[in-house]
Structure 1
């Protein structure tokens, strides 16, 4: 499925999502690796097969194979980290944050792409899964390295529209099967 086919698959009530998907992905001021890596990591995090397929096909035209692998790795590692760190935070017991994770996270140190791109993708995935601890951590790392708020904002916009497309198509599929 292509990006155009993905937009065409969105129902009329999701016209805003369709238009935003086209404009956010089509005119992003981010470098292609940042925008399409963000889109791919977010598509995977959003879990809808049609969104993943469409965005992966388009992303492959703009990303190196190493960047595709790194975007997938960002979605994978953040699937684990977002659950773990969000849960420790939400429990509200001050003892949990001091306990070591003891979870393997080596991909974060050597992602196969520029570390800041990987941080941006991890931030965007964290926005989808709602992990405030991870959002804060990745935003601070990006800002400390000189990444602008506008870049962070753009990654959040990409996350929002990719996730909205996935939610809409997933709901339509479930309702059609009911």
Structure 2
């Protein structure tokens, strides 16, 4: 039974069948593998985001987590859901930009120095001015990546930004759930 669940995950994500950690879960009779399958399904079939948005968010998180297997899956799936090459590129770029911002602003937040706060960041962020994905969705992905990276200052800033753009809590929560579930799946794909 657990072998079937593992095979369902492997098939759904287009993975090869050779995965030591998923095999460990099966061999150890871990019921978590069932949870993993359900969590993945629930995270990607959300009510407050389109399937394309959910998969582009997953792509940004997979890029952020440096997970080539999940990057491949989310890129292909996003293309199947009619994401343009520009939208895919922007989700990828968003993960990179936010990684830089998260480190920079997390440092400022941790240190709490007025001197550091007064020095210009000098990190180019032109992509944020007119995102291909639209301002609201770009900010939503930025929020998800910032949450995955643990930058409190960035999470608060992007959450406020998407709320100011009219985004409700359920849509925000869906994006955060995607980030957390994609990260949890990534931990098992070595």
Structure 1 residue 5 corresponds to structure 2 residue 24: no
Query: Partners of 1:38 and 1:7 in 2: how far apart?
Result: 23
Structure with bigger helix share is 1
Distance 1:84 1:28, change over 3 A: same
Distance 1:2 1:67, change over 3 A: farther
Aligned twin of 1:51? 70
Query: Partners of 2:120 and 2:130 in 1: how far apart?
Result: 21
Structure 1 residue 28 corresponds to structure 2 residue 37: no
Contact preservation (8 Å) 1:121, 1:155: yes
Give 1:122 deviation, angstroms. Answer: 0.7
Matched residue count: 169
Larger RCO: Structure 1 or Structure 2 (Cα < 8 Å, ≥ 6 residues apart)? 1
Contact preservation (8 Å) 1:34, 1:120: no
Aligned twin of 2:36? 17
Q: TM-score, normalised by structure 1?
A: 0.86
Q: TM-score, normalised by structure 2?
A: 0.81
Give 1:99 deviation, angstroms. Answer: 2.0
Aligned twin of 1:102? 122
Structure 1 residue 134 corresponds to structure 2 residue 154: yes
Query: Partners of 2:51 and 2:169 in 1: how far apart?
Result: 18
Distance 1:104 1:4, change over 3 A: closer
Aligned twin of 1:65? 85
Query: Partners of 2:52 and 2:13 in 1: how far apart?
Result: 20
Structure 2: 5+ residue runs without aligned partners? Answer: 1-9
Give 1:100 deviation, angstroms. Answer: 1.4
The residue correspondences of 1:127-166 to structure 2 (distance < 5 A) are 127-166=147-186
Give 1:104 deviation, angstroms. Answer: 0.8
Query: Partners of 1:82 and 1:155 in 2: how far apart?
Result: 17
Query: Partners of 2:139 and 2:15 in 1: how far apart?
Result: 27
Give 1:140 deviation, angstroms. Answer: 0.4
